Amino acid sequence: MSTLVSLKDVVKRYQRGKQSVEVLHGVNLSIEQGEFLALMGPSGSGKTTLLNLIAGLDQPTEGEVTVAGERIDRLSGGKLAKWRARHIGFVFQFYNLLPVLSAARNVEVPLLLTNLSSKQRKQNVRAVLELVGLADRATHKPGELSGGQQQRVSIARALVADPTLLVCDEPTGDLDRENAEEILRLLQMLNRQQGKTIIMVTHDPLAADHASRILHVDKGRLVDSTERNAA
């Protein structure tokens, strides 16, 4: 396997009034292509900041962030936005679906920024809805779907442009245990059978248990890691 994500001596500081707050302290991290990595840690530990740096939603104060062979810490806002559209699929705790659109149309939204024909967009949408088990719900609007189904729609939307990396921020945080387990099994399937590289932020040990590797973030540092058998 090859290294997909590399962070070298990454520091992140935020300015709060006159005070400079350092959230990440010299983080070094490598993530291999095809990994399913869980980032765990208490609230305020820096795990979401770390995720945002990898996903190109934020940039480091110091250090290097390389994803898919590109030094994204050097990219300007416009180039970074194009890079994200090409490489990153996002899944959030809250589904961020447009209530007036059907499941299929919600999934199609990222493709509207591409040069694909309408026919090709519909084929891609149908394929990912089948992949997440919602082909029979394509015409349903979010209000007609359960929380678990809405999250599966958001995962389909994240996958539809075939991103290099799937980034999940507390993807089961708004779900009951049964629906959460369904979503985690789906992510595990996407990793094992489709070869998707996944990074998931979670505070839930049962969620992290589905990953192939677990890293703990505490007070802006990676404090330990657990290698797991992904079989």
> What is the reported pLDDT for 54?
94
Instruction: pLDDT band for 224, please (50, 70, 90 cuts).
Output: low
Which domain does 86 fall in, by range?
36-46+77-227
Terminal-residue alpha carbon distance, the chain = 16
Structural domain contains residue 20: no
> What is the reported pLDDT for 101?
92
Structural domain contains residue 58: no
Structural domain contains residue 54: no
Query: Which segment, 14-18, 32-36, 84-88, 110-114, is predicted with the most confidence on average?
Result: 32-36
Q: CB-based contacts of 114: which residues, under 8 Å, 6+ apart?
A: 121, 161
Looking at the 3D structure of the chain, how many domains does it have? 1
> What is the reported pLDDT for 228?
47
Within its chain, how far is the Cα of 191 from the centroid?
12
Q: Whole-angstrom Cα distance, residue 35 to residue 211?
A: 8
**What would the DSSP string read from start to end of 142-196?**
GGGS-HHHHHHHHHHHHHTT--SEEEEESTTTTS-HHHHHHHHHHHHHHHHTT--
Give residue-wise pLDDT tens across range 131-166: 888 889 899 999 999 888 998 899 999 988 888 999
> What is the reported pLDDT for 35?
94
Structural domain contains residue 129: yes
**pLDDT > 90? residue 173:** no
Q: Whole-angstrom Cα distance, residue 78 to residue 209?
A: 37
Structural domain contains residue 137: yes
> What is the reported pLDDT for 112?
81
Residue 201's CATH number: 3.40.50.300
Give residue-wise pLDDT tens across range 67-123: 998 899 999 888 988 888 889 999 887 778 899 999 999 999 888 877 888 888 888
Structural domain contains residue 51: no
CA dihedral 73, 109, 197, 195 (to 10 degrees): -150
> What is the reported pLDDT for 226?
52
b/e 201-213 (16+ beta carbons within 10 angstroms → b)? bbebeebbebbbb
Structural domain contains residue 16: no
Q: What percentage of the chain carries pLDDT values higher than 90?
A: 37
Structural domain contains residue 71: no
Give the three-state DSSP class for 140. Answer: coil
